[in-house]
Chain A
Amino acid sequence: MSISQLSAPQDLGTLYSNHHGWLYQWLYRRLNNSADAADLSHDAFLRLIVRPAPRGFGSTAEARAYLRSMAKGMCINLWRRREIEQAWLDTLAALPESHAPSAEHQAIILEALNEIGTLLSDLPPKASSAFLMSTVCEMPSSEVARELKVSTRMVRKYVAQVMLRCMLAQAHATTTALLDPETR
């Protein structure tokens, strides 16, 4: 089976040769990293194989606009993921060794953090750090406050903010399940 059969009506092979170089350059300008740009530009075309553009593309401009908006979303996801990972690494680095979780536990935490990353994306980075230090690492709030150079009152506020987000996400999931007549 040829690639074009997979991605009918648009010939993905043609699409790739016409636009891959352009997309790579576009990503490279934004990310300033050739490995990330290469990864994401390939991912973009893989996504097109899995989920082709509904009506194909009538023109080069149309194809590029579509690819660009897809790539934009992918950049944002990548940045968000990196930011979360960085916040977590910063948190770990600031921890006394006695508070550091095991390597296995750390991997689980990072995965969970990425899952809830969207939930926290508009909160200040210190809020996530305060929450992590207080809950995952069970650090006393006075220590967290010292680390983050904020008051203990602020630490409590951050922890409550993040917890509220988690609760609302849970509530949303519950409501959605209850609205489904199958689960009543």
Chain B
Amino acid sequence: MTLDREFTPRFTAGQVATGSTVKGEVPSHEVMEAAAEWYALLISDEAGKQDRKRWQDWLTASDEHRQAWSYVERGSASACWSH
């Protein structure tokens, strides 16, 4: 499956890599975990507008967050279940 358009971020993994985060540095485990939890919430039917707004804020808060999210995108795409 692909992520819902409404919350598909507007940047790609490539752009993330050119951000101020040191190239090749993997986000901390806590941030990766937070990204995975956001993903789980957003694909559930329990996420409301408020949650999406909070997710957007989280995403724009730091390069590390964006980088972690790029792994969510790659994780969901590379698993080959995109239609």
A167 to B45, CA, bound (A): 22
Total B residues in contact with A, Cβ cutoff 8 Å: 28
Q: Which of B36, B43, B78 contacts A164 (CB 8 A)?
A: B36
* A:99-135 near B, CB below 8 Å: 105, 108-109, 111-112, 116, 134-135
On whether A163 and B24 interact (CB within 8 A), knowing A141-B46, A170-B74, the answer reads no
On whether A160 and B36 interact (CB within 8 A), knowing A134-B44, A167-B68, A178-B23, the answer reads yes
Tell whether, in the assembled complex, residue B80 and residue A164 are in contact, meaning their CB atoms are under 8 Å apart.
no
Total A residues in contact with B, Cβ cutoff 8 Å: 32
| Shortest distance from the beta carbon of A154 to any chain B beta carbon, whole Å | 11
Tell whether, in the assembled complex, residue A152 and residue B44 are in contact, meaning their CB atoms are under 8 Å apart.
yes
A15 to B41, CA, bound (A): 57
A157 to B33, CA, bound (A): 11
Question: Is B59 interfacial (CB-CB < 8 Å)?
Answer: no
Q: Which of B33, B39, B78, B80 contacts A170 (CB 8 A)?
A: B78
Residues on the A chain within 8 Å of B37, using CB: 156, 160
A160 to B44, CA, bound (A): 11
Tell me the nearest residue of chain B to A156, going by C-beta.
Answer: B40
B residues engaging A (CB < 8 A)?
A: 1, 23-24, 26-27, 32-33, 35-37, 39-41, 43-46, 68, 71-72, 74-76, 78-81, 83
User: What are 22 inter-chain pairs, A to B, with CB distance below 8 A?
Assistant: A109-B80, A134-B40, A135-B1, A135-B76, A135-B79, A135-B81, A138-B1, A140-B45, A141-B44, A159-B43, A163-B72, A163-B75, A163-B76, A164-B36, A166-B78, A166-B79, A167-B35, A167-B72, A168-B32, A169-B75, A174-B26, A175-B24
